[in-house]
Amino acid sequence: MKTTLKLTLSLACAVTLVAGAAAQTMRINGAGATFPYPIYSKWFSEYNKIHSSVEINYQSIGSGGGIQQVTKQTVFFGASDGPMTPEQMQGAPGKILHFPTVLGAVVPVYNIPNVSAELHFSGPLLADMFLGKITKWNDPAIARLNAGVSLPASDITVAHRADGSGTTYIWVDYLSKVSPEWKSKVGVATSVNWPTGVGGRGNEGVSALVRQTPGAIGYVELIYALQNKIAYGSVQNTGGEFVKASVSSVTAAAAEAAGKMPPDFRVSITNAPGKGVYPISSFTWLLLYENAKDKAQAKTMVDFMNWALTEGQKYCADLGYAPLPEAVVKLEMAALAKIKIS
C-alpha cells in the first residue's frame, strides 16, 4: 500500500514538473517568405539549443502570406523578401519595422535535356522569355549569348510562383529595371499577372516544376537550386560581366547599398553596379511591430535578433546566403532599441 502511494506521488510530481516546464516554454509564431526558410530553420534550432525555453515556430507560406498574417496579428512576426508597400504599412494596426536578416540571390533555373553547359542570360533576354516572346530554346537571342552550346529546338515552359512571393518581388523588380516593356506590362509586386507559364507554390513548388518539366525555366532562391541539384545560369550585370550567384557576388551587390541604407531599411539592390556583382540579389526582412501587445515575446524576439545579427551570421555561407555588412548590422542594433519591451 505504501509502495503504491509512493509511486502515485512520484508520478504526480513528475507530471507536475513536466507541466510546469511546459507552462514556462515561450512559443513564438511567425510566417512568411520561403526564400530565407533554410537559414531561419537553422537559426531557430540553434537558438533553442541555448535558450531551451524558447520555441520559435515559422511557417514558410510566401511573403504575401507573411505580410497578411502579421497585419492580421495571427502571428507575432512576419517575413518578406519584398518590403511592405506604404499602403500595406498603413493598413496594419500598428507600426511595423523592417529588419534585414541576410542577403540572398534569385537564380534562373532550367531543365534542358542533354545540355550540361552553364547558360548565360541577360536581363532583357530573361524578360522576353517570361513575357512569352521567346518560346524556343534555340532562339537566336539565347544562342548569341551561348556560343558553342548546342541548344535544342524544344519549347520553353516558364515556371513561376502561384502565391504571393518575395522571391517573385525580387525577380520582377530586377526585370522592371532592365526591360521597359516588362515594367509597363507587368510591373513590380509580390504577385503579378504572368503573361505566360505555369505556377507552383513556394520556392519548393517552382523547383519541383522545373525538375519535372523538360524545357522549363524558372526562378528560385539559390539554396533551392543547390539542394535540388538544378542547373542555374549566370546573369549579365551592369558592367557587362556574366556572373554566377555566390556568397561573394551577392556580398558585392550590397556594398554600395550598405553606405546608403535608408532609416527604415526598405531598399532594393537588384541590378546594382560594381565589379563582380550578381544582379538579382536582395536583402530579406523580418517584420516586427514596434509596440506589440505581448512585451515578453517582444523582448525575446529582440534578444533573438541580436543573436541572429551577430552569432547567427556564421551559418549563412553554408546555406548559400551572404552575411549582412557590418555597417548594416550596426544600424539594425540601434533600430532594435525602438521596439518597446516593457
Taking only the tens of pLDDT, the chain with its 342 residues reads 444 434 443 444 444 444 444 458 999 999 999 999 999 999 999 999 999 999 999 999 999 999 999 999 999 999 999 899 999 999 999 999 999 999 999 999 999 999 989 999 999 999 999 999 999 999 999 999 999 999 999 999 999 999 988 999 999 999 999 999 999 999 999 999 999 999 999 999 999 999 999 999 999 999 999 999 999 999 999 999 999 999 999 999 998 777 788 999 999 999 999 999 999 999 999 999 999 999 999 999 999 999 999 999 999 999 989 999 999 999 999 999 999 999
Q: Note the pLDDT of residue 259.
A: 78
Which pLDDT value is given to residue 255? 85
Predicted local confidence at residue 222, as pLDDT: 94
Q: What is the 3-state secondary structure (H, E, C) of the chain?
A: CHHHHHHHHHHHHHHHHHHHHHHHCEEEEEEECCCCHHHHHHHHHHHHHHCCCEEEEEEECCHHHHHHHHHHCCCCEEEECCCCCHHHHHCCCCCEEEEEEEEEEEEEEEECCCCCCCCEECHHHHHHHHCCCCCECCCHHHHHHCCCCCCCCCECEEEEECCCCHHHHHHHHHHHHHCHHHHHHCCCCCCCCCCCCEEECHHHHHHHHHHHCCCEEEEEEHHHHHHCCCEECEEECCCCCEECCCHHHHHHHHHHHHCCCCCCCCCCCCCCCCCCCCCCEEEEEEEEECCCCCHHHHHHHHHHHHHHCCHHHHHCHHHCCECCCHHHHHHHHHHHCCCCCC
Q: What is the pLDDT of residue 313?
A: 97
- Domains of the chain (ranges; CATH) run 26-104+284-336 (3.40.190.10), 105-258 (3.40.190.10)
Q: What is the pLDDT of residue 258?
A: 78
pLDDT at 77: 98
Query: What local confidence, expressed as pLDDT, does residue 4 receive?
Result: 45
